[in-house]
A and B are shown apart, each in its own frame.
Chain A
Amino acid sequence: MVEDSKETQPSQQNPSEAEKKPAAPAVPPARPPVAPQGATPPRPATPPPRPPAPAQAPSPVASPQQKPTGRRTFLKALVAISGVLTIIPFVPWGQFLLSSVSSHGALQRQKIVLDLNTTTNNNANGAVAGKTVNVNDLTSFPPNSTWLVTYPTSGDINVDSQSPDTFQKFGLIRLPTELGGSNKDASAFVAYSKVCVHLWCSPNYDPQKSSNPTNETYQCPCHGSIYQLPTEDSKGNLIDAGKAIKGPASLQAPPTNAIPMLTLTADSNGDLWIEIPQWDPDHNGVIGYGRNYASYQDYILPIAQGKAKAPGEP
């Protein structure tokens, strides 16, 4: 019955004694300063023998080395399995890394409220700061004009207006009349990201130069990248909004040569809404990275015209 008293009576030891003991065998014997031919000196496979067991506990069994059977291997395998099972539960914790600071929880639809310091121009009415945008109101929101909006909003117009985070800023543009800017639906508007896909400066819309749609329109002040308004194809359909046509951004490979856009809709009162964006190159683009410019005619415009539904749109 008594097999090995030495290993099974730890708790009765004086702690200070007990912890000094195991340290002793683990200290390897002093090595020769230079190993012959750089070879590693052989290490003992097992720790140095312990002092003999107390006399009152003669060990009747064979020493462990005599029969290295598969049982030990089995136990080792179980320990390895246990180690793997201990690590596995931490794998889903990686989801922690996949959230984002700039998305405050889930994105939501948002009725457009203009920033208080929204940039106004000759064609736009400066009194609209802080107002909601109505597509029927051609006086306050005339064609060929631009305003600043924040998405996602903090819910507080004052905080939004003071936030310097251009990754949440968009230039809302009512298109010139020849591009359908006087239409009384959401297709009269586009909302371009305020982050240039070249080096993240902040482009601005210049209405003075937009009489010719291929002329300079949404221009970045840093390196002169220019993003076009939608152009008309041979059948008169609007296509390719936000594609860079000049400057360093136009030289980048697709999809990094077009500015990300928001999806806009108008409700029955004519109030303009931002639909929940899909931040990938084939839909609304990735801010600061780019967008496939064809996503305007394939995805954004049909929703603005009411021919398709955005995710989460009522």
Chain B
Amino acid sequence: MSKPPEKGNVVSRLYQWVKDGLERTVYMGVQYTYPKRFVSPLGYLGVLTGITFLVLGITGGFLMFYYQPTLAGCGSLTCAFASIERINNTVPFGWLLRNIHYTASNAMVLLAVLHMYYQYFSGRFKIKNEVLWVTGVILGIITGVEAFSGYDLLFNQRAGLAIEIGSSLANASPLIGGTLRLSLFGAGFTDFVLRLYAVHVFILPMIMIILVFVHFPRYLVFDLPVISTVVGGLFLVAAIFPVAVGIGYSPSNPQLTIPEWYLTGIYALLRTEFDKFVMGGLMPALLFLMAIVVPFVDTSKKLNWKDRPFFTALGITTIAQILITTGWGFYINPNTSLPTLSRLYVDPALYFSSMLGVTVLSFAFTYAFLRYLKAKERVRRAVAPMSPLLTKKWVFIVFLMLVGAQLALNFFAWTAALTNLNAMTLFDVGAILITFGVIMHLYRYSQSLPF
């Protein structure tokens, strides 16, 4: 045990003492950097993904207090759905936590995908980062499965469809299909809920936490202003676009629904009505396999995307193909006189020709664009010195204004909570978090000013 340091006040000495005590733990193995000025969040999208994971863990843990992973025994035969309705409508602040959890899950999938593409195009997956890249791809797949198992737990119409597709996909695997389905999903609706619950709240998060220790680089950027702003933005989106609980699932009355946006791609593949396993299993697996082997194929020492035209074009192609496939997934034949199955049918000829077309277009576009860039190659424009945006007097004024705004927002959030205006409360709290982010950034900025 280390001696308490002599310098500074009690708080800083305590902080220093605890920090020294953590010297030998895994937490000090990672070097956190609090940048002294604004840096582009593109470089630390992974940290932001981790922060949304944290938000999901906190909100999800609280949601577990009231969620009931069962179908019978609580007063209605879709107990799971009823418990979510109760969280949404009755439990104080349940609406807020559920909407934050939902929005954060979407944000995590989105941030993970953006993170992957930034790393891909900037070439950082190369040169000693191969293991990080591969674990990242695996983490991305697990994130998708985690999101899938999460929205199944609602047991509304959309969840019913997802469970149906998921279990029939497992069933369609050659040789082990039946065993796989039984072991993953169990034998009935109650088994579905319970197993998906165990997978969602424990098994997958545990695997993710273990993998994250492999995936984290030694240096992490921990930028409080941006993190606070991102979390606040999450709250704002959740407040502006709240998600309805939907209609409870009833096997006798299935409705036409579309899966979540990150799964509509697979939905489109299945709707071509070719072999289920090939379309829903092997085709997505091809994409993931491609992602995994990329660092072992693209072994050149060139990092910049402009110097790797083929792999840049390949990346653009995957983006375009995912967009096209997702678009097909959202498409339902508007002719309501047709039977449901015919409305859902995706014509494979149209589908595959659109995929091929977009591949050719992507490659052509990328090569043409790179040629254009080369022709227009210029000397990098010297950056003209800028005057400070704010003088010290204005720093004080803006600071006071922002703290005043926070005070007012606190009042608004409080009154909104009193009157059960859930979305308003969430919006105000999100705005408070964003204001805090701006204040922290302004404080950082003021450190460079003379006082």
Query: Which of A26, A85, A156 is packed against the most chain B CB atoms within 10 Å?
Result: A85
B362 surroundings in chain A (CB, below 8 A): none
Nearest B residue to A79, CB-CB: B443
Nearest B residue to A21, CB-CB: B39
- Cβ of B44 under 8 Å from chain A: yes
Query: Which of A8, A9, A95 is packed against the most chain B CB atoms within 10 Å?
Result: A8
The CA-CA distance from A11 to B389 in the complex, in Å, is 13
**Structural contact, A64 and B447, CB atoms closer than 8 A:** yes
- Cβ of A29 under 8 Å from chain B: no
The CA-CA distance from A153 to B201 in the complex, in Å, is 30
B33 surroundings in chain A (CB, below 8 A): 22-23, 26
- Cβ of B357 under 8 Å from chain A: no
**In the complex where A15-B43, A82-B406, A96-B97 touch, is A40 in contact with B37 (Cβ < 8 A)?**
no
**Structural contact, A104 and B439, CB atoms closer than 8 A:** no
Number of A-B contacts (CB under 8 A): 188
The CA-CA distance from A61 to B219 in the complex, in Å, is 34
Chain A 41-63, CB-CB to B under 8 Å as 1, else 0, gives 01100010000001011000111
**In the complex where A89-B432, A99-B90, A156-B75 touch, is A12 in contact with B383 (Cβ < 8 A)?**
yes
Near B by CB (< 8 A), chain A positions 74-105 give 74-76, 78-79, 81-83, 85-86, 88-90, 92-93, 95-99, 101, 104-105
Nearest chain A CB to B82 CB, angstrom units = 8
Q: Contacting chain A: which of B65-73, B253-261, B263-271, B322-330?
A: B65-73
Nearest chain A CB to B52 CB, angstrom units = 17
The CA-CA distance from A179 to B314 in the complex, in Å, is 88
The answer, among A3, A47, A97, for a CB contact under 8 Å with B388, is A3
**Structural contact, B385 and A92, CB atoms closer than 8 A:** no
Q: Contacting chain B: which of A157-165, A241-249, A253-261, A275-283?
A: A157-165
The answer, among B35, B228, B386, for a CB contact under 8 Å with A8, is B386
- Cβ of A16 under 8 Å from chain B: yes
Nearest A residue to B381, CB-CB: A12
- Cβ of B440 under 8 Å from chain A: yes
- Cβ of B18 under 8 Å from chain A: no
**Structural contact, A61 and B450, CB atoms closer than 8 A:** yes
A40 surroundings in chain B (CB, below 8 A): 2-3, 5, 16, 20
**In the complex where A38-B2, A85-B407, A101-B83 touch, is A3 in contact with B39 (Cβ < 8 A)?**
no
Nearest B residue to A85, CB-CB: B406
**Structural contact, A78 and B385, CB atoms closer than 8 A:** no
**In the complex where A19-B39, A101-B83, A159-B75 touch, is A26 in contact with B34 (Cβ < 8 A)?**
yes
Task: Say which size band chain B's interface belongs to.
Answer: 35 or more
- Cβ of A67 under 8 Å from chain B: yes
B402 surroundings in chain A (CB, below 8 A): 82
Contacts beyond the supplied A2-B385, A43-B16, A159-B72: 15 A-B pairs with Cβ under 8 Å: A9-B383, A11-B38, A15-B40, A19-B35, A19-B40, A22-B35, A22-B36, A39-B3, A75-B443, A83-B436, A85-B406, A89-B425, A93-B96, A99-B94, A159-B77
Near B by CB (< 8 A), chain A positions 152-191 give 154-156, 159, 162-165
Instruction: Give the A-binding residues of B (Cβ under 8 A).
Output: 2-3, 5, 7, 16, 20, 31, 33-40, 42-44, 62, 65-66, 68, 72-77, 83, 86, 90-94, 96-97, 122, 219, 221, 228, 383, 385-389, 392, 395-396, 399-400, 402-403, 406-407, 409-410, 413-414, 417, 425, 428-429, 432-433, 435-436, 439-440, 443, 445-451
Nearest B residue to A25, CB-CB: B36
- Cβ of A138 under 8 Å from chain B: no
Task: Say which size band chain A's interface belongs to.
Answer: 35 or more
Nearest B residue to A35, CB-CB: B2
A11 surroundings in chain B (CB, below 8 A): 38
Query: Which of A19, A25, A69, A155 is packed against the most chain B CB atoms within 10 Å?
Result: A19
B39 surroundings in chain A (CB, below 8 A): 10, 13, 15, 18-19, 21-22
B385 surroundings in chain A (CB, below 8 A): 2, 5, 9, 54, 56-57
B7 surroundings in chain A (CB, below 8 A): 42
Nearest B residue to A3, CB-CB: B388
B383 surroundings in chain A (CB, below 8 A): 9, 12
Nearest chain B CB to A91 CB, angstrom units = 10
**A-B interface, 3 closest residue pairs, ranked by CB to CB distance from nearest:** A154-B75, A5-B385, A7-B448
- Cβ of A72 under 8 Å from chain B: yes
Nearest chain A CB to B307 CB, angstrom units = 14
- Cβ of A27 under 8 Å from chain B: yes
**Structural contact, B387 and A27, CB atoms closer than 8 A:** no
- Cβ of A206 under 8 Å from chain B: no
Nearest chain A CB to B96 CB, angstrom units = 7
B449 surroundings in chain A (CB, below 8 A): 3-4
B65 surroundings in chain A (CB, below 8 A): 96-97, 101
A39 surroundings in chain B (CB, below 8 A): 3
